[in-house]
Amino acid sequence: MQLPIFKHISQALSDYDLFLFDLWGVVVENEKLYPGVVESINSILAQKQGLFVSNVPRPAFVMQEKLARWGLNATEEMIITSGDITRELITEEAIKLGKDKLTIYHLGSDKNNDILRKLNHTITEDYTKADVLLLTLYRDENQNIREFDNLLKNVAKQPNLLKICANPDISIPKGNIIRYCAGYFARIIDSALVLTGNAHKYHSIYGSLEDKISVLGKKAKELKIFPTFITELA
């Protein structure tokens, strides 16, 4: 199949009404913006509708501030994150249980606490007293990634605990090291687990970007998912 090659994505604007933009790996990598991407996206948004989607375990109102710092013309309503879906699940669980305030056991880094900002909740250090397990944990490969194995296995045995993994990524490159994300630790819990974000089965640990492209390319071919056009990098 011969695909049309465009000098710039602007050549395809007339064929689409809505554009979806991923963030990490598309707009930015290791907190560094790809050259020209902000200008290109803002040019599209000036003419078409756009949405930004991400597995990031943070709400849209937090991400809007970050996108603004990057220079992207995005409103809060244009951002969809796994953090927002997590917040919706927590709110739905409160309604289901008939509670005004849920008790949450949050296993994750301090900076991910903004996922709970503006939610009526109580944090507990005892998962047996929690209504919800919120998993946003990550560890770098030079840290002890087995530290929480026993804890997560015990959590898995709690039948009435809503278990939410707010980021299904297994691992991501972080400079010259691999960072293990919440999806990696969620595999220890496995059953009765709610994943927010894209399909868990397509997340894995890759040795390099080339490996990832090769594997995902084969899966796309199996599912008959093909691009309708490609653009040159420069």
- 5-81 and 82-202 in the same fold: yes
| pLDDT of 122 | 93
- What torsion do the CA atoms of 53, 54, 55, 60 make, to the nearest 10 degrees? -90
> Does the pLDDT of residue 61 top 80, yes or no?
yes
pLDDT for residue 195: 60
- Round to whole Å and give the CA distance between 139 and 152: 15
CATH 3.40.50.970 fits 82-202, yes or no: no
Average the pLDDT over 125-132 and give the result. Answer: 95
Number of H helices, E strands in the chain: 6, 15
pTM above 0.75, yes or no: yes
Q: Which residue has the higher pLDDT, 128 or 30?
A: 128
Q: Which residue has the higher pLDDT, 35 or 5?
A: 35
Cα dihedral 21, 25, 29, 31 sign:
positive
Amino acid in the structure at residue 50: G
pLDDT tens profile 64-86: 999 999 999 999 999 999 999 99
- Domain-wise residue ranges, the chain: 5-81, 82-202
Q: What is the pLDDT of residue 154?
A: 92
Tokens 């420069």 locate to: 234
Q: Is CATH 3.40.50.1000 correct for 5-81? A: yes
Distance (Å, whole) CA 65 – CA 82: 17
| CA–CA gap between residue 58 and residue 84 (Å, rounded) | 7
Q: How far is it, in rounded angstroms, from Cα 192 to Cα 45?
A: 39
pLDDT in the model for residue 217:
74
Q: Please indicate whether residue 133 or residue 14 has the higher confidence score (pLDDT).
A: 133
pLDDT category of residue 231 using cuts at 50, 70 and 90: confident
Residue 196 has pLDDT above 80, yes or no: no
